[in-house]
């Protein structure tokens, strides 16, 4: 039994089903990130865990106790809002002290706690200022300060960094990761920024249209996406999908045919695939110049030079879909000049007609020891 358990959580707004039965277990001290496209129900799920929205059905358990009918404080959670939700008429000190004032904590103890929180968040110089005088990052830290003084069992963050500029976001990301290590608390973090998800999470929960598409460690999602949705959502630029035909199945993998070229993709074999149309997935960063196990001739239409990489976009096939390749920064390519690109079978993903992945022969433990057991990391 984890610290937080969600059992078949559903949420309806009228007849519209926003969350379609969520099951999840979060362990003590874990940093779990919910990602998903806009409108998939991340905030709704978080607000239900917080106790701000009612669950339509299903149970929320914290440390084994059903908390569906308890108010937020009794659940032992604290929440940092998508907007900062600071009290504009109070000083930073009073903002951070607010939950303690509600508890009617003795002045001395309160002061010590607020100052401790302010020191962790580098706000000690700002305690007497009002939120209106602070920068975005400082305001966000005040909001976090208000959450940590109460020493909750579980922290909930709803896109806390979404309105900060890129540099500040990177700083805050690092500070949040530090804070997590320092406090050893369970954190649940909502974002639609996959860099935040990949860098901070022990475990990522990918939501799609009210359902969990996959749960796993960041690298697990990257290397073994369970379906085309996760494959396309994790990783930037997005994974390329090519339609292929299954020619045969053996122990070594599945033999596929792409426009006359054949290759054996090392995935777990399944019966009944022969003759079917499958989807071959390959990430832009795994495409190389020159021939490979599969070779594609493409004509880039747009080339983005980012310094470290060169990203080339080309239309392939009749589908008009963009094929994207991430090549070295100095790649000698030009728009409208046809090039040869290669794909290695070891880098390929294969999905069946329903978009479900055939398991790849990749040992995740070779990539990252901690990947399969986040608690041990």
Partner 1 sequence: MSQPAMINRYRWHELVAIYCGIFVFLAFILAPFVEGFLVSLKPLGLLFSSPYKFWPENGSFAAYKSMWVSVPGFARYIFNSFFISSIVTVIVLVLVVPAAYAFARFKFRGSGALLAAFLAVNMFSGAVLLIPLFRLMRSLGVLNTYFAMIVPGVAFLIPSAIWLLRTYMMRIPRELDEAAFVDGASHFYTLRRVILPIAMPGITVVAITTFIGSYAQQFIFALTFNSKTEYMPLPIGLYAYFGRQEVIWNELMAASFVGIAPAVILIFLMQRYLVAGLTAGAVKQ
Q: 188 CB contacts (<8 Å, ≥6 apart)? A: 4, 26, 32, 33, 34, 46, 49, 154, 155, 156, 157
- Judged by beta carbon distances under 5 to 8 A according to partner kind, the member of Mg ion, partner 1, ligand ATP, none in contact with residue 12 is none
Contact criterion met (CB below 8 Å) for 170 and 146: no
Q: Which of residues 26-55 bind ligand ATP (CB under 6 A)?
A: 36, 38-44
Closest by CA to 348, choosing from 231, 247, 234, 245, is: 231
CB-nearer residue toward ligand ATP: 39 or 71? 39
CB-nearer residue toward ligand ATP: 9 or 325? 9
Distance, CA of 118 to CA of 91 (rounded, Å): 13
Q: According to the binding rule CB under 6 A, does residue 249 interact with ligand ATP?
A: no
Shortest distance in whole angstroms from residue 296 CB to partner 1: 44
Shortest distance in whole angstroms from residue 102 CB to partner 1: 5
Structure tokens at 42: 């991340």
Distance, CA of 99 to CA of 150 (rounded, Å): 7
Interface with partner 1 by CB under 8 A: which residues?
A: 50-52, 71-73, 77-79, 81-89, 98-99, 101-103, 130-134, 136, 139, 146, 150, 163
CB-nearer residue toward partner 1: 52 or 333? 52
CB-nearer residue toward ligand ATP: 41 or 292? 41
- Judged by beta carbon distances under 5 to 8 A according to partner kind, the member of partner 1, ligand ATP, Mg ion, none in contact with residue 18 is ligand ATP
Shortest distance in whole angstroms from residue 108 CB to partner 1: 20
- Judged by beta carbon distances under 5 to 8 A according to partner kind, the member of partner 1, Mg ion, ligand ATP, none in contact with residue 216 is none
Number of CB atoms found within 10 A of residue 361's CB: 11
Shortest distance in whole angstroms from residue 44 CB to ligand ATP: 3
Q: 223 CB contacts (<8 Å, ≥6 apart)? A: 360, 362, 364, 367
CB-nearer residue toward ligand ATP: 14 or 88? 14
Q: Which of residues 30-59 bind Mg ion (CB under 5 A)?
A: 43
Q: According to the binding rule CB under 6 A, does residue 12 interact with ligand ATP?
A: no
CA dihedral 266, 203, 36, 193 (to 10 degrees): -100
CB-nearer residue toward ligand ATP: 47 or 75? 47
Shortest distance in whole angstroms from residue 149 CB to partner 1: 10
Q: 204 CB contacts (<8 Å, ≥6 apart)? A: 32, 33, 35, 197, 198, 215, 216, 217, 218, 221, 234
Distance, CA of 52 to CA of 60 (rounded, Å): 13
Distance, CA of 369 to CA of 14 (rounded, Å): 46
Q: Give me the DSSP letters along 247-298.
A: EEEETTEEEEEETTEEEEE-B---TT-TT-EEEEEE-GGGEEES--SEEEEE
Shortest distance in whole angstroms from residue 90 CB to partner 1: 8
Shortest distance in whole angstroms from residue 75 CB to partner 1: 9
CB-nearer residue toward partner 1: 51 or 218? 51
Binding residue (CB under 6 A) for ligand ATP from 12, 13, 54, 174: 13
N- to C-terminal Cα distance for the chain? 19
Shortest distance in whole angstroms from residue 25 CB to partner 1: 23
Q: How many CA atoms lie within 13 A of 71 on its CB side?
A: 1
CB-nearer residue toward partner 1: 130 or 247? 130
Interface residues with Mg ion (CB under 5 A) are 43
Instruction: Please report, as ranges, the residues that interact with ligand ATP according to CB under 6 A.
Output: 13, 18, 36, 38-44, 192
């Amino acid at each position: 039994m984890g610290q937080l358990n969600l059992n078949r959580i559903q949420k309806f707004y009228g007849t519209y089903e926003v969350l379609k039965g969520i099951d999840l277990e979060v362990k003590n001290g874990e940093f779990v990130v919910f990602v998903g496209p806009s409108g998939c129900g991340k905030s709704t799920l978080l607000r239900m865990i917080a106790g701000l929205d009612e669950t339509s059905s299903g149970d929320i358990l914290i440390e084994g106790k059903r908390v569906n009918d308890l108010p937020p404080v009794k659940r032992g959670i604290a929440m940092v809002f998508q907007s900062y939700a600071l009290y504009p008429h109070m000083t930073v000190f009073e903002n951070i002290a607010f939950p303690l004032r509600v508890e009617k904590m003795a002045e001395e103890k309160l002061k010590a706690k607020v100052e401790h929180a302010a020191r962790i968040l580098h706000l000690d110089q700002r305690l007497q200022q009002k939120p209106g005088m602070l920068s975005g990052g400082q305001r966000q830290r005040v909001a976090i300060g208000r959450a940590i003084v109460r020493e909750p069992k579980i922290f909930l963050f709803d896109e806390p960094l979404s309105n900060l500029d890129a540099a500040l976001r990177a700083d805050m990301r690092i500070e949040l990761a530090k804070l997590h290590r320092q406090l050893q608390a369970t954190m649940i973090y909502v974002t639609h920024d996959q860099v935040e998800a990949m860098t901070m999470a022990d475990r990522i929960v990918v939501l799609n249209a009210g359902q969990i598409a996959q749960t796993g460690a960041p690298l697990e999602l990257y290397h073994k996406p369970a379906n085309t949705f996760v494959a396309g959502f994790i990783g930037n630029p997005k994974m390329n999908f090519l339609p292929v035909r299954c020619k045969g199945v053996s122990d070594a993998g599945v033999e596929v045919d792409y426009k006359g070229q054949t290759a054996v993709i090392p995935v777990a074999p399944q019966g009944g695939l022969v003759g079917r149309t499958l989807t071959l997935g390959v990430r832009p960063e795994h495409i190389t110049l020159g021939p490979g196990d599969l070779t594609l001739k493409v004509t880039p239409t747009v080339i983005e030079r980012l310094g470290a990489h060169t990203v080339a976009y080309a239309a392939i096939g009749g589908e008009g879909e963009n094929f994207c390749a991430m090549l070295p920064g100095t790649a000698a390519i030009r728009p409208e000049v046809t090039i040869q690109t290669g794909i290695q079978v070891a880098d390929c993903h294969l999905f069946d007609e329903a978009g479900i992945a055939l398991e790849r022969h990749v040992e995740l433990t070779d990539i990252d020891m901690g990947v399969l057991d986040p608690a041990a990391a």
